[in-house]
Amino acid sequence: MSITPLMPVYPRCDVRPVRGENCHLVSEDGRRFLDFASGIAVNLLGHSHPGLIGAIKKQAETLMHVSNMYGSPQGESLAQRLVDLTFADTVFFTNSGAEAVETAMKTARAYHQHDGNEDRYEIITFKNAFHGRTMATISASNQDKMHKGFMPLLPGFKYVEFNDLEGAKAAVGPHTAAIMVEPVQGEGGIRVADDAFIKGLRDLCDANDLMLIFDEVQCGVARTGTFYAYEQFGVEPDILATAKGIGGGFPMGACLATEKAARGMVFGTHGSTYGGNPLAMAAGEAVLDAVANDEFLAHVRTMGEKLRGRLEQFIGNYPDLFEDVRGMGLMMGVKMKVESRPFVAHLRDHHGLLTVAAGDNVIRILPPLVIEDAHIDEFMEKLSAGAADYTP
Ligand SMILES: *Cc1c(COP(=O)(O)O)cnc(C)c1O
């Protein structure tokens, strides 16, 4: 037998983390890394946050899991907090981002189909989007590399260029049910949507009775310096998918919706065995305790501005390597003029710095949101040293 016990779907590198210490990771072989990847925008409180650890420990000792057949004081409490903090009136808890997106898409279709209008099913999405790895969420993305080997895709999706409002308008037809967009594309290369594009999508949805879905799985939960990124576009969605940061490392996600948008999500239409279990809810509460306040969000914005300022100054020293700095808050990207993936590997293997490659030859910089000035200093030192001894 030559297949590995872990199904070999990831090209794993030889960093093998066994311990986390705030914003650093320690590998099996003792090497220490500055973690500006955060499990891809997940560990927003770093790796050893006492509040998060304490909440999970306490809940694990009290009650880990019960079925959704029973009443859920834990779920009601966290859902109420999310409703109070956002546009939403109601919340469905999931275990991952893809499931949150699936729930969002089902909610949008059910909005039209609950009273029998089965002609409305099409969802318009955008090129280079990433919505997850389930059959429906790969179908929602135009990326061939995710489709190969898994045909046929689910029907009912139309892909339009990101930031192309006219293209979106032209794609709306009698079967359109919803438009789904990442306000900041993550995997696609930290591409921030234009204000006018997002506002235009809102108007387009209003004019045609379409559901506007924001996929904030990566950009949500304080990452951009507001609780959700949509707040900075001056537009509210009807439905929003959130995950990654929301459990701070505990696997969970959620689909948020207005009362109107959720009109088709009635008894028996959807479910999840684990979704919203007491252990996950305890993690979610601890994350909100830490991040859902003005002081924390201001910290993210301050650190984001400092990091951006330093990066913008720095890239000028290497005009052959770097093109520009993009992003919002602590969701930053540096576009390279050469391939970004080998440079990310160089920083990791030779300078103890973890970042993430993204589409469009971008290095994604996704530090824990609890970083301080000293972490930015350490990051800039490692990045500078990495650029200085890099030959593409
Ligand atoms: C990561 C991601 C997903 C999928 O989340 P999983 O937890 O991996 O299923 C969906 N949408 C966006 C924008 C993401 O970044």
Q: What is the per-residue pLDDT across 226-269, written as a single tens digit (0 to 9) for each?
A: 999 999 999 999 999 999 999 999 999 999 999 999 999 999 99
Domain of residue 91: give its range: 63-291
Examine residue 384 and state whether it is found in any structural domain, yes or no: yes
219 and 180 in a common domain: yes
Q: How far is the CA of 190 from the centre of ligand 1 (A)?
A: 14
Distance between CA atoms of 252 and 269, rounded to whole angstroms? 20
Q: How far is the CA of 238 from the centre of ligand 1 (A)?
A: 19
Element (H, E) at 77: helix 73-85
Q: Whose CA is nearest to atom 11 of ligand 1?
A: 131
- Last residue of some domain: 291, 312, 346? 291
Examine residue 139 and state whether it is found in any structural domain, yes or no: yes
- For residue 115, name the pLDDT band (cuts at 50, 70, 90): confident
Examine residue 6 and state whether it is found in any structural domain, yes or no: no
Q: How far is the CA of 385 from the centre of ligand 1 (A)?
A: 32
Whether the per-residue pLDDT at 327 is higher than 90: the answer is yes
pLDDT of residue 279: 98
Examine residue 368 and state whether it is found in any structural domain, yes or no: yes
Number of domains in the chain: 2
- For residue 14, name the pLDDT band (cuts at 50, 70, 90): very high
**Pocket probe mutation, ligand 1, options 9, 95, 182, 218, max atoms within 8 Å of Cβ:** 218
348 and 279 in a common domain: no
Examine residue 7 and state whether it is found in any structural domain, yes or no: no
- Last residue of some domain: 245, 268, 291? 291
Q: How far is the CA of 129 from the centre of ligand 1 (A)?
A: 10
Strands 331-336 and 362-365: antiparallel
φ/ψ of 301, rounded to 5, equals: -65, -40
pTM score, two decimals?
0.98
25 and 155 in a common domain: no
Residues with CB under 6 Å of ligand 1 are 96-98, 101, 130-132, 182, 186-187, 215, 217-218, 243-244
- Last residue of some domain: 239, 270, 291? 291
Q: Annotation-wise, does 218 bind a ligand?
A: yes
306 and 272 in a common domain: no
Distance between CA atoms of 28 and 14, rounded to whole angstroms? 10
pLDDT of residue 7: 97
- Of 192, 197, 142, the C-alpha closest to 335 is 192
What CATH number is associated with residue 328?
3.90.1150.10
